[in-house]
Structure formats: structure tokens, C-alpha cells
Structure 1
């Protein structure tokens, strides 16, 4: 089950500050510094316990997740992929996370024995997806990769071009990747095309259309692993990483396509 908002905010703070200090020192900071009094000691304890239970923080206080930028005082928006104020450093961090997620998917497909894997995003943004893959039986997958370092909730941004490609390309799928501190994938899930189509904004006037949209993905709209629209697994379960994050304490019953 996904943690509550207070626990999520506490967990994101732990992720950031464990990069520079150990658990006792960070706990003391949260307990005694007035800047962090908006959350209670119980919420901080719950946030750390959640991270420990998911294996995202080791018993000696080492975080396996890296924070994407510094905390924003309006609710840590920078850590869930939507910074309140743009900075070059935050943009660079987001790009680094995105590239790491794409490379992680490429590695998983190569480990799975795919007949062909091409990181097309490294060539051009025009495709509307990031990775092209082909299996030995001829099945093709056009994978749009969305990467994040936030294990507490899954938030993605989809461009209008990516959305239009999804609607016209039956082999298009969206894989969301939780990127670890080493740049590898800690979790990968497939987001439902049907849910994206239902949740996307509507163009109410032919003279106006949306160019980018932010989606908060519910747990019932994803399934673990990288799944083709036919239901075929592009990455075997034994290879695909799958931590119980983003509400995925168990596999949801909804189909991802």
C-alpha cells in the first residue's frame, strides 16, 4: 500500500539528507531544526521505516535512491519530477535520471536476449518513444521510458507527440523506471495505455491543443515488468526488477493495455 502524503514527504527528505549524513544526525536535524517542524517525529519515523522495509535504505543508513535536486519549501515538488522553480541544476538532474532510465531499459532488453535493441532517443526525439526492440518471433516494441528517483509515488510527464504516437502505434508502450543511486533500475512497470487515454486532457477547441501533461499514476494502472500490448513479456520476470513501491505491494489485477 502506498504511504500517506506526510510519510511520502518524510521519505523524500530522508532520501535527500542520507546522502550527506547518517541516520542519527538526520533524525536529530528533523527533530530539532524549526525548518522541518511541519512534519511530526512519527511521520519521520514512518518515512524511514517505509524506506527500510522496501530495501531502499540499508540498515547502516545508506540510501539506494538519489534525490533529484534540493528540497523545495512548498512541498518538495522538485523530488517528484515537478520542481516549483526551474534551475539549470534541476534540469540537468532530470535529464541525467531520464537517460539512466533509458539505458537501464536497454540493458534489461539485452539481458533478455532480444534480437534487436536500438536506443532511438539517443539519435532523435522525433520517434515519440525511446527504445526500439525486436524479439526472435518478430514481435516489436516501441518503448517510451519515464524515469524517476521518487519511490513514494509515480508521476510522469507525457508530451503531445508521445501521446499521438501512442494512439497510432499498436506497439507503443510506456515503461516507468525507478532509478537507483548507481543509475540502475530498481523497479520497472508498464503503464496502461487505456488509462492514459482516459486521463489525458481533452482538446475543447480545434484552435487549441495541449502540448504536455503531468500524470499521477495510480497503482491499478500499472503492472510489474515491461509488457507488450499483446500481453507478452519483453523482459522475463526473473530479470525485471520489482520493488514493492508506488503502491505495488502486490500485483494489481488491472491489465496494462
Structure 2
């Protein structure tokens, strides 16, 4: 449960520890948190929070490839007292005080908030399922598509370094999500190198938009292409 909440992806058989009395050496029980370095999205360079399905389909090193399969084996759903855990705002503040940039700290806090919500639902008896979450997102896309398909839009933000382009892009992204768009990772859609190849001397908005692949299921989606992270 704790590994699920902090999104630890390294859960192999060598990453388990035990608690014991320091005086008597008597075994107390398994350590609730042990070797959790690969957690809280420390490797992610993205700043847009994952969807519920996106969180569940992150690959992990464990008995199973996804977290929902491990949750299905939990016998005591109430073993973690969620009311004792820090709030998402406290988590964000903790990382910022440790020197983590605000955008990355916010990204961590929002993902943690989603995990807390799923943990609460799990403790209330709900089955956490990657398949069900994907189906829910698919239905949401279908409902949005039923309202009418809009043509593709390509918005290019230009400016000097540290001029606020990333923050503005995230604001636009959140606005699209509130309007019913589904965030999709950019890796499978288009790359900076593809955009350059689709242009002549400068990035051509019309040519790049024309060259975007029409992948099934992405009609009501939104993403960000950024040269800063080679995506």
C-alpha cells in the first residue's frame, strides 16, 4: 500500500526489509517502507500530471508489471492510515524546501493526490483496475467526440529562456483538460525532429499541423511538444 501511494517502481524480491527490536533482536514484522528510492517520479522530466490510467500503467519491477495487479493481492486494505499521511500541498512544499523546482514539485504533488484518491477508493472497497480506468477514459473521449470533432490546432509559444513559455503551455493544457480533452503522452504522436523535417527553414505551422499523424482514439486529445525535453 505504501509503495502504491508513493509510486515506487522498484519492488523486486531484494527490496524487502524487516523490523526488529534493537535490544532483543526479536522480529517485529515487515518494514512498511524499504529501499523506496525509485519513487515519487524522481526520474520524470514532465510537468503535466498523469491520468489515473497513466499512473497505473507505469512499468514496475515486481511480481507483476502493473500496480493494480499487486493491489489485488492486498489482504488488509486498511493497513495504511490515510488520515496520517501528508496532504498534497504539504508534499509539494516539502520538495520545494528541498530545492526541487516549483513545477516539478507541483507535478509530484498532483500525482500523489491522485494516488491518495485511488487509495481511499480502494479502502472503501473499489477495485482499482488499469483496464477499467482505460475504459473510463475511452468513454470520456467518446462522449467528447459526440459533441462534434474540432479540427486539429497547433499553438506555438516562442520567447526568451525563462520567459514563462512552459507555464503558459501548462495553463493552456489545463484549460483544454477542463474542457474535456484527454491528455496523451507526446512520445507516440510527434517529435521535434519530425516537426523539423516537416518544415523548410523555420517551423511551418501549417505544414507541421498537416503532418501530424491521425492516430485512432486521439481526436479529443491534447499534448505538448517541447524542444526542452527532446519531445
Q: Which of 1 and 2 has greater Rg?
A: 2
Return the structure number with greater strand share: 1
- TM bucket by the smaller chain? under 0.3
Return the structure number with greater helix share: 2
